[in-house]
Amino acid sequence: MILTHKNTHFISFISLTLLLILYIMTLNGFFGPHPIGTTSTSTRPLIVPKGFAFSIWALIYTGLITFPIYQFIKKKEAPQWRPLRVWYSINVILNGLWLVCASYDWLWITVIIILMMLFSLIKIDHQIRTMKNEGIKINYWMESFVFSIYFGWVTLATVLNIAAALKFYEWNTWGISELYWSLLILSVTGIIIIRLFRWYRDQAFIAVGVWAFWALTLRHWESLPILAYFSLGIMISFILLIIIQMVRPTEIVPD
């Protein structure tokens, strides 16, 4: 199919509509026994943050709704937006399918879907950066910010999704206690976020990490201090990187 201005707008709106329909249906229990906002008690590993962290989805969904509308009403556009809108459409459809599968506790399927979502966001991020390098005008708040925070959150959510699936299917973590296994996972997650920040230098991306690790710190502050302090340490490292980039932007460079 030839990617034109008209048909890529059409695809993006149809895909967004499908996501919203699946969201509403899942929210109201039309699919599996776990509507949005609920989870089975067996799929809450220690690395899941306090519930308020997931309110970031309100910001993400607002951006996902605003993006195609803004793209449609703006007067001029570069042709490079067309493949990006295709990746956007793929992503929001996958998002809707993830909701349905999660409601049925089909967790290994949700892992596959969220990895595909992560790949689509990598493609979107790459396309946006390519356009910036080519001098194409991009509205940060309407066309870039949402994908930065979405990319950051799905990066973290992928780890959570895998951990939840392993716990749900009663994997024994090679005999390692859940606490130490959680510390290991958080260490790897922190390294991944820092590496991606060094490559992309995206403050909104790493700010999502600050948000998530703060919520995780608060969840375990009284019940499991070692995990709380560890999460707090990772969060502080993210904040220091943001400050360094703001004060000395050349200090944070791609490897």
Buried b (16+ CB within 10 A) or exposed e, 169-201: eeeeeeeeeeeebbbebbeebbeebbebbeebe
pLDDT at 174: 76
- pLDDT for residue 165 is more than 50: yes
Mean model confidence pLDDT for the chain: 91
pLDDT single digits (tens) 109-122: 999 999 999 999 99
**Whether the Cβ atoms of residue 252 and residue 244 lie closer than 8 Å to each other:** yes
Query: In the chain, where are the structural domains located?
Result: 5-251
What proportion of the chain, given as a percentage, has pLDDT over 70?
94
Mean pLDDT along residues 123-139: 94
N- to C-terminal Cα separation, the chain: 38
- Which percentage of the chain shows pLDDT scores above 90? 77
Predicted local confidence at residue 30, as pLDDT: 93
Task: Note the Cα 187 to chain centre separation in Å.
Answer: 18
Whether 137 shows a pLDDT value over 50: the answer reads yes
d(CA 42, CA 89): 32
Q: What is the pTM of this model?
A: 0.94
Q: Between these two residues, 40 and 69, which has the higher pLDDT value?
A: 69
In this predicted structure, the answer to whether residue 253 has a pLDDT above a threshold of 70 is no
Asked whether 107 and 169 are in contact (CB, 8 A), the reply is yes
> Regarding predicted confidence, which is higher, 251 or 233?
233
Question: How far is Cα 234 from Cα 230, in angstroms, rounded to an integer?
Answer: 7
Residue 169 binned pLDDT confidence (cut-offs 50, 70, 90): confident
Q: What is the average pLDDT across 89-104? A: 96
- Element counts in the chain: helices (H) and strands (E): 8, 0
Q: What is the pLDDT of residues 59-96, one digit of tens each?
A: 999 999 999 999 999 877 899 999 999 999 999 999 99
Per-residue confidence at 252, pLDDT binned at 50, 70, 90? very low
* pLDDT tens per residue across span 20-39: 999 999 999 899 888 876 65
Band of pLDDT at residue 1, cut at 50, 70 and 90: low
Q: Which residues lie closer than 8 Å to 55 by C-beta, 6 or more apart?
A: none
The gap from C-alpha 38 to its chain's centroid, in whole angstroms, comes to 19
